Amino acid sequence: MKSYELKAVIDKWQDLLSIVSPDDMLMYMSQKELYDVCQWFERVTSTGKSKNRQDYKKEKILECFTGLELPNAFDLLIDALSTTTNQSNSTSIIDALIQRQRQLSPAKINNLNTNAIKADAFMPSLPKHYQPNLQAESYIIEILQNLKAKYLNGWIILHGPQGSGKTTLVNQFIRNQAAPNGYLSGGVLWISLGQINMNQTLILMQQLYKRLNKQKCTIPSTMKGLQMSISSLLENQPIRPFVVLDDVREPNQLLYLNFNCDTIITTTNANIASKLNRGNIILNIKDVITGEHCKKIIATLTETLILNLPTIIDQLIQISDYSTLIMILFGILIQQDNNKWSVFDSQWLSKYQSKHYEPEVIFYDLIEMHLRKCSEEDINQIVQLGIFNEQTVIPIKVLSMYLGTNQQYCSSLMDFFIYRSLATEQIIESGDIGYSFSCFMINYIRDRRRTIDLKADHNKILGLYKRSCQGDWVLLPDDGYIHNHLIYHTISAEDRKTIKELLTNFNWLQIRLKNNMPYVVLDDFIKSRSILDLEEWNGLHDYWHLVRDSHNAINLHQDGSLLQLALSRPWWRNFYKDMEAKAIENCKGTTYFKWNNCFTQRSEFQSCVATLEPTSEPITSCCFSSDGTMIASCDKIGNITIFDTVMWTPLRCFHSIRGKITCCIFSPDCKKIAVSLNSGKTEVWSIDSEKKLVEHAYHTAKVNWSEFSPIGQEIVSCSDDRLIMIWDSITGNNIVTCRGHKNMVIDCHYSKDGSRIVSCSWDKTIRIWDSTFGNSLLVCTISDDWPIFCSFVDHDQNIMCGCEHQVHMWDSTTSETVDKLTNKCLGRISFYDVSADTKLIVRCLFGCNVVEVIDISSGHSSIVTQEGHHDLITNIKMSPNGKIIATASKDTHLKLWLVQPPKDNTEKVEKRPMYLLDCNFIGNVPHILSGEYEQWEGQALELFIGKEVRFVKGTCKEDWKCIKCCTISHNGDLVAVGFTFGKVKMLHRESLEVKWSKNNLQLHVNDLIFNSSDEILLVSVSTDPFESLKQFKIIAINSLSGDLIKKFESEEQIVFYNLLDSSNLLLFGSSNGKIQTYEIYGSSKVINSLSMSGKIIHNDLATDEAECAIILADNDNKICQIWNCINFKITHTVDRNNSISSCKFSNKCDKLAVGYNYGDFKIWETTSWELLSCFNGHHGSIQSLHFSVDDKLILTCGKCVTWWNLTECKIMQQFPLQNCAKVIKYNDSLHTIIIDDEQYLYVLSHITPIDRIGSFSLKRNLRRK
């Protein structure tokens, strides 16, 4: 539910409670088959502790319709009130709800390009001989109406064999019903999928978003982000457009092509509906295409009455499985036959009747019969067209060049296929004619043409283009085809040299990126993996690694920083930090560094490569494939999801009905995956077919680990039943059982040659077994620790066992202890893994989720991540190349981390962790003041000043105790330092030497503020440095001399205080709603006083010091009021809303912005107090707002930071934070900001040029008080 709809419901909720019946509402949800909602509703109401259960149910109805992200939740609630309540009582509240919703609805600018959803936009043309099927169209409309009444919107899955007329039927239905008064008057979104994979689906969705959005904006880089962005464009339409997903072959595509619109899917796979989470109806093409319709096609082509058709036509319809394309091909043969109907040879028909043939065989025979009418020269030209892919538009100029003929000949040749519905004609962007072949025609040519001939044809077209650009691919002109298909033809020609030349050519990549998204180029790299061997691929990696190290010399694109690293290896995505990885969709150009709030000093950053959310359940296990191109995750209810490691898109999803999965492992050939279960079973699945191949059910307790042998024929598994079993991976039959452990077996692994197996058990022994006979070869014992992991290391010469507090190692032949990694870990370790080369160990500390990498030979270590997950880590795995670590967690996320090289940590840094004291911009230059944390043992100040793109550090020579606060003057010359026990010192900023010191203030210093001229320092003091205070004092001190000016006292807690320089008055507000002013240099008496009802929770003083905006909270109500600083009166009430959170005057004082807890903010004009505009899109509550100097930009802060362009009324950039922002400082243009969220200190640059990405070199830890 949108935020303004939610607000409308909340405003009218008390009225709703008086008429709504919880039992009727439950009945309504059952009728709508909202079973998940019903179960959730029953669960929360049954556990409610309210005395009146009926009232408690009523309160939960609001959460039911607004908290579960139901599509069209507001409309659903209105419908529920109309359906379940008394009509006379509910009409008034429904009208009030709708009226309030319209009042709150913001005036949005609709960015949808309506030309992209016109009925004839981007739709294929109809075949020449198509016959309308009005009966089928009426049937589809009836189904859509039933779906809409039941689910609001739904899916129709129209399935049948290729050539059966699915696409043509839907095409004609769309064209007939898309008229202004037709059923599909909201427009149409036609998406042709075909043979594209999931990676190419991402590119297709990016192109679709670019086509739909009429404004230039950042294109999301994840499929989930694209789905949400496209849905938001469509949802504001008065009538949502109709979506057609044509020729869906990959079921997982439907997970991301769900835009909450009525949708028709055409497919050959009837089981594709298993991936849908909305109401759906499955139709077979035979249900809508009748024999009469097929007869009508032949009758029209042969100019014969249906009644006069021979009876043999009925046999033809049955044999062809009601295929309309076969009817067209037969009809044309009969039409062109001199002796009509002689083509119907009874023997020819009986051949197909005697044995069931696939329609594809009949198609090939028919195409062969049609080609007999062509000359030998034409056939020689036709068989060369197999190099083009199905549905690929080929400009006529390209055909003419490739065939070596004129365009008139090409046009007549293509007309031959268009007339037979084997090709289509369309106008391309350049205005020229383009042609595309059907899959049957292309497959026929490729079957007839030998592979070696196809390779020669690909080399032929490459040679023609190479001559046209004189061997320099950068000079190759874009003819509408070759730029997007050059890599395809090069790979098909197996021209490795040209591939490497193209993939390392900056200028070529610039051309490819000019009119495409970065992922189009990434797809070129993915395709190239099919023919490049490991040595060639490593050569590409080394090249791009060199590029990354000297990135200031390149400028690929605005997304260049992403490409530099994503192209280097298939499992490298980027080197961005954790926060930037989350914000990558809208924030690709951010430059920042952060100080980490941790106890151990370390100089490296944690780098989150990707964050995946494969399921809504806690993840129990994950694993990489042996080639590093896939990663699998499993959850506690049996879901298995496999991702590609280039774009991190899901490749396969399947489900085990046996329940919780304990571990998963790929086979060595990466074609199968084994999953072990809590029930004691292990299943082997085919990755390509998503089918279970075999099940092993010989264990009687939970299986803790299973693993394929090095050659993949056998699997070893260990269990809580104390047994280790080796069994056949094809049949599931046991081969060998290893007995000897006296407690549950936790882990087991093969040696590299597969001859031995190492295992560890909670009987505190580690054993080596003969994998052929199951004999125990070696036993090692641990006395004071619990084993949780074991493995062969050092080329099988040693074995290691990871325990809860230490790593133990032995010689695998003599069982002698190896003196490595003997240091104990202070915390408890929960998981281990070893790299493929057994040189690195990765381990995870229980509870704190610290993941650490250790070099086995040197013992050096590095921390990978400390706070990436919000719940316990459940598994860790290292990629085969040792560069990426995957962490699975109960928070349902699977995160990929870049491994930092282990470093020698034996010499600890002597300096203590730092914490933030103050930060500000002095002349648009960032200054950051920090101090060491040991409050009772002394502190040292450090000042970091931005210089170009680096920070220069200065250190104070004094060693002080108990520093409480610091502040930097506006001109940057002075630094004031406040101490816990009543002391203030003033320092010179450049030297950090003491200018003056003020002692014996007798109270604890809480805060320091300079006035705008830096002449007066205001010191806030109290009686207690830690607890919430009831009494405050404000002390005014001359900042140049240190002389005391005056003391001011308040009986209530002071919420804010400001010095009005224009009148030399001190203004402060108390928590009880009282505002008072005092003269700085005159009498100590109160000059003016104003009491307001409520507690002051936020305020902002206008820059002209004439007005002050104040937000008051009284019980559950909040109000924003304007207080005049001159006449001391409330002059205007801006808004009353219990969600108001912040306010801010513009620098010209002509506007006031007010922020709300639900992520919206509004802007008022301050003369007439007219509402100018409303904005939404900030994630979470808006805690503060900040205008740029020219008032053209505004910054909203809370759990994220959002830049807004007030002129264009849109979001420019967004960046998420770990916690809510507490300190926000910024330069005049809002280009660079400093944010402290009490966990990190961020320095963010909005939309930074490429050559500055990652250029801040300072990396320092920051620990809070």
Q: How far apart are CA 626 and CA 1017, in angstroms?
A: 65
pLDDT over 80 at 1055, yes or no: yes
Share of the chain above pLDDT 90, in %: 19
Instruction: Measure Cα distances from 37 to 52, 81, 463, 1257 in Å.
Output: 22, 17, 62, 51
Q: What is the pLDDT of residue 553?
A: 32
Sheet holding 798-803, edge to edge: 787-793, 798-803, 807-811
pLDDT tens profile 228-253? 788 878 876 767 788 999 988 888 78
pLDDT over 70 at 142, yes or no: yes
Here the tokens at position 874 are 């459940």
Q: How far apart are CA 452 and CA 460, in angstroms?
A: 12
Q: What is the pLDDT of residue 950?
A: 41
Q: Which amino acid is at 12?
A: K
Q: What is the secondary structure of 1150-1203 as a DSSP string?
A: SEEEEEETTSEEEEEETTT--EEEEEE--SS-EEEEEE-TTSSEEEEEESEEEE
Q: How far apart are CA 88 and CA 951, in angstroms?
A: 70
CA dihedral sign, ordered 112, 114, 115, 118: positive
Here the tokens at position 196 are 């594209």
pLDDT band for 151, please (50, 70, 90 cuts).
low
pLDDT tens profile 561-589? 333 333 333 322 232 233 334 333 333 33
Crossing angle of helices 496-503 and 534-549, rounded to 10°: 20
Q: How far apart are CA 863 and CA 870, in angstroms?
A: 18
Q: How far apart are CA 590 and CA 576, in angstroms?
A: 10
Residues 6+ apart with CB under 8 A from 373: 336
Residues 6+ apart with CB under 8 A from 67: none
Element (DSSP H or E) covering residue 810: strand 807-811
pLDDT tens profile 247-271? 888 887 887 888 878 889 998 887 7
Residue 1227 has what DSSP assignment? Answer: -
pLDDT tens profile 816-870? 988 777 666 767 888 899 988 888 889 888 767 788 888 887 777 777 776 678 7
pLDDT tens profile 425-436? 888 877 788 898
pLDDT over 90 at 1252, yes or no: no
Q: How far apart are CA 765 and CA 742, in angstroms?
A: 9
pLDDT over 90 at 724, yes or no: yes
pLDDT band for 97, please (50, 70, 90 cuts).
confident
Share of the chain above pLDDT 70, in %: 76
Alpha helices by DSSP H, listed for 725-884, are none
Alpha helices by DSSP H, listed for 67-133, are 73-84, 87-104
Q: How far apart are CA 160 and CA 169, in angstroms?
A: 12
Q: What is the pLDDT of residue 183?
A: 72
Q: How far apart are CA 101 and CA 950, in angstroms?
A: 50
pLDDT tens profile 203-232? 888 888 888 887 767 677 677 778 878 887
Residues 6+ apart with CB under 8 A from 900: 604, 605, 607, 853, 862, 863, 864
Q: In 241-305, at which residue ranges do the beta strands (DSSP E only) sit?
A: 242-248, 263-267, 280-284
Q: How far apart are CA 990 and CA 111, in angstroms?
A: 51
Residue 73 has what DSSP assignment? Answer: H
Half-sphere exposure of 137 (CA within 13 A, CB side): 18
Residue 744 has what DSSP assignment? Answer: -
Nearest CA to 1217 out of 1230, 1233, 1198, 1234 is that of: 1198
Here the tokens at position 204 are 């297709």
pLDDT tens profile 905-926? 444 334 444 567 778 888 777 7
pLDDT tens profile 455-496? 899 999 999 999 999 888 888 888 889 988 999 999 999 898
